[in-house]
Structure 1
Amino acid sequence: MVCVIVVRIVVFVFENSIYNDVWMVPVMILLLKVLHMHITPSMPFKSTGPLIEIKTAEVSLLSTRPTCLLLLCCVVKMEPSGSNRITQATNNNDVPPTSSGPPSDEFQQFKGTTEYQIMILQRMVQEVRNSSRVGKEQIETMSKDFDALKTQLKTTETRLAQLQKVVAVQTDNNTKLKRETTEKDNAIKTKVDGLTRDINDLKASVQTITQNLAEIERNRGSSTGGGSSSANIPENLTQMLEALERQLGMYDVRIAEMDLRFQVLETTSYNGCLVWRIRDYERRKEDAKRGRTLSLYSQPFYTSRYGYKMCTRIYLNGDGMGKGTHISLFFVVMKGEYDALLPWPFRQKVTLMLLDQGPDRRHLSDTFRPDPSSSSFKRPTSDMNIASGCPLFVSHTVVDNSTYVKEDTIFLRIVVDTGDLENF
């Protein structure tokens, strides 16, 4: 009974302690050993029930902490074998006899069982320690993985911030380019309108002069005579008329040039990408077969507002190895106003594409990187370098009667990589 009370007190202290369970279990085992060593020499014991008794109170008390369940097996119910004799001796004021002989068989059995339970407890403690070590290793591994994920997240955030900056810069450049293009378009339109008014005025003046000249001719025919001054009037008017006609012709040429420049500005690209629409495909192809117009040039386009100036040259009936069987497509580096600021030779990757106008969008493309040793990609000294590209770009059998040609029109797309170029 004393053992049960002591164990309950120790369990209560253990349950309310702040120390680690793994270290408290061996302490409890040691206390139990000492307790048995002090009890067993004074009186023999006999087992009045099972050596290990798990009671409801201990289960409810110890279930709140997992390791405390190991101590349930230490609640032992013991009763002294000579209790009646000891009580009678006490009533008769006699001294209870002491046992000086060897321990009984029951005590040896109890001792062996207790040692076996202690061994089991030690094994369980070792297992708990092993589990704790494995848990710590898992926690360390998870901590390392978490640190790696944090580093990866920081790297991703840094790259995202850089991309956002690049997008912001590109957006600003596009806004500036649109503003400059709009301003130029407005200026050109203003000039064209002014020239148109001047031409209309000139036409009205010529018409008036023509009417005056006709009236003078009629008056001259009806007149019977005239002096030298009347004879010189038609000649002067004729000279004025010829001068006005020459001036009118010059204005027509200037208007045509301004209109051409206006059309070029409307279609000029400054992002390294050109979409070229070629109308009247069959007629132009037939002209190429007959030798009238062997090739066509696209409008110029640029890698940026102050970047490389380029264009594309196409042979609808082929050139070189592809003559008569293929469409040949070439890339041309042109002389630009800002070539002195650019790195040479030209090294940007070029992609040539024939666009599919059908729903499948099976575009045909060919990509190449310029050869730095080729003269086609050195800094131009004339208006444009020698064209370089694909003489066997696409076969006529693939293009004809396909979705690459619709309404007698084909579309070409040329893309120049501008990722590593400096923006001025």
Structure 2
Amino acid sequence: MDAYVDRKRIDDSPKVTTDSSTILETDESNVQQKDITETMNILAGGTAVLNDDVQRLSSESLQQSLLIEMSSQNLKALKTSCEESKNFMDALSTNMSILQQDCFSLKQKIEESQSISYDGTLLWKISNVQEKMTDAQSERQVSIYSPPFYSSPTGYKMCARVYFYGDGNARRTHMSLFFVLMRSAHDVLLSFPFTYKVTFCLFDQTGEQQHVIDTFRPDPKSSSFQKPQCDMNIASGIPKFVQLDKIQQPNSRYVKENVMFIRVMVDFANLNKTMLPYAVSLNPGLPIYCQQRLIQQRAQLQSQKISETTPMNNHLNTNGNSSTE
């Protein structure tokens, strides 16, 4: 009996062991499955978070793309605006330059109109002589015109023209000075051809009275002195007025502080030739009526001297003839 019991016990022992192993495996499987489930749950949660992040980043990326596109459009518009502003500023600068030139020209015209002479004389102040000489030498601008002047408020209109580096055969050796007859509103009432003597005077600014003075009488057959058919007749005058070295030398008596003074006088009174140097060299600061009176007094004095000298010469000639006989 005991032997049977023992065998029975022995026979049943492996079966218990097998059941325990199965239980252990089942528990391990459950644990692993639980771990896997938890892991999957974690991964699922992470995937959801990633999906949310992807969706958020996609939305942000779209917004950034829109912002970049808007910025690009704004930048393009700003560039266009800058170009338009630059073009506007360039146009404004050009207009300002033109306006400044117009203002300068208007200022010159106003100054000229305020200093217009109506007595047949012109005192012409020429500034920046050295620059004008350089322009004439390089042929950038070979000549300049003076402001106009008149013989009377309803008389002849005239001006002077100077070639600083000479004209024609006088180029590079002399300064040329010419007289120009201009068209005026009263030409139909005036007498032509123009036949009055014209005297030029380049002032000595040292006070030593070594003026350069020259005179010419118009040729009545020349077209320069017929009634003007356009704004200006052809200039005519004295090509070899003064040698260039006299005005180009350092400390020239005729150019001081880069300024030159030229006087033009039209002789409507038919003064004696000996009177012209005196007339053109009178102090220009004196009123016109004073200058005219001084000229008349000088002319009368000369006439008186001539009258006094003539009888004496006749007396000497008479005595000489009688002694010869």
What's the CA shift for 1:248? 7.0
Which residue does the alignment assign to 1:398?
246
Match of residue 410, structure 1, among 254, 260, 264: 260
Q: 1:252 to 1:340 in 2, by over 3 A?
A: same
* Residues 64-102 of structure 1, C-alpha deviations (whole Å, 9 max, x = no match): xxxxxxxxxxxxxxxxxxxxxxxxxxxxxxxxxxxxxxx
Which residue does the alignment assign to 2:182?
334
- Structure number with greater CO (CA < 8 Å, separation at least 6) is 2
Match of residue 127, structure 2, among 275, 279, 304: 279
* Residues 132-152 of structure 1, C-alpha deviations (whole Å, 9 max, x = no match): xxxxxxxxxxxxxxxxxxxxx
Is 1:290 equivalent to 2:138 in the alignment?
A: yes
Match of residue 164, structure 2, among 308, 316, 320: 316
Q: What is the DSSP-based 3-state SS (H/G/I as helix, E as strand, rest coil) of the residue aligned with 2:199? A: strand
User: What is the aligned length?
Assistant: 196
What's the CA shift for 1:260? 2.8
Counterpart-to-counterpart distance in 2, 1:285 and 1:248: 29
Q: Which runs of 5+ in 1 are unaligned?
A: 1-220
Which residue does the alignment assign to 1:363?
211
Contact 2:182 2:233 in 1 (8 A): yes
Structure 1 residue identity aligned to 2:260: I
Q: What is the DSSP-based 3-state SS (H/G/I as helix, E as strand, rest coil) of the residue aligned with 1:380? A: coil
What's the CA shift for 1:280? 2.6
Q: Which runs of 5+ in 2 are unaligned?
A: 1-67, 271-325
Counterpart-to-counterpart distance in 2, 1:275 and 1:405: 15
TM-score, structure 2 normalization: 0.52
Q: 1:289 to 1:249 in 2, by over 3 A?
A: closer
Structure 2 residue identity aligned to 1:418: F
Identity of aligned residues (%): 41
What's the CA shift for 1:312? 0.8
5 Å-filtered alignment, 1:2-401, equals 245=92, 255-399=103-247, 400-401=249-250
What's the CA shift for 1:329? 0.6
* Residues 292-320 of structure 1, C-alpha deviations (whole Å, 9 max, x = no match): 22111111111111111111111111112
Counterpart-to-counterpart distance in 2, 1:385 and 1:369: 16
Q: 1:318 to 1:340 in 2, by over 3 A?
A: same
TM-score, structure 1 normalization: 0.40
Contact 2:216 2:238 in 1 (8 A): no
Counterpart-to-counterpart distance in 1, 2:232 and 2:123: 20
Counterpart-to-counterpart distance in 1, 2:129 and 2:102: 30
Q: 1:251 to 1:290 in 2, by over 3 A?
A: closer
Q: What is the DSSP-based 3-state SS (H/G/I as helix, E as strand, rest coil) of the residue aligned with 1:282? A: helix
Q: 1:255 to 1:326 in 2, by over 3 A?
A: closer
Counterpart-to-counterpart distance in 2, 1:337 and 1:278: 27
Counterpart-to-counterpart distance in 2, 1:262 and 1:381: 26
Counterpart-to-counterpart distance in 2, 1:415 and 1:249: 38
Structure 2 residue identity aligned to 1:313: R
Structure 2 residue identity aligned to 1:411: F
Q: What is the DSSP-based 3-state SS (H/G/I as helix, E as strand, rest coil) of the residue aligned with 1:312? A: strand
What's the CA shift for 1:275? 1.1
Q: 1:283 to 1:261 in 2, by over 3 A?
A: closer
Q: 1:251 to 1:405 in 2, by over 3 A?
A: closer
Structure 1 residue identity aligned to 2:268: T
Q: Which shifted more, 324-333 or 357-366?
A: 357-366
* Residues 355-413 of structure 1, C-alpha deviations (whole Å, 9 max, x = no match): 11122212111112211110000111111111101111111233334312222222111
Contact 2:163 2:176 in 1 (8 A): yes
Counterpart-to-counterpart distance in 2, 1:290 and 1:254: 26
Which residue does the alignment assign to 1:62?
none
Counterpart-to-counterpart distance in 2, 1:254 and 1:315: 26
What's the CA shift for 1:255? 3.5
What's the CA shift for 1:416? 0.9
Q: 1:255 to 1:283 in 2, by over 3 A?
A: closer
What's the CA shift for 1:322? 1.3
- Alpha-carbon RMSD: 3.5
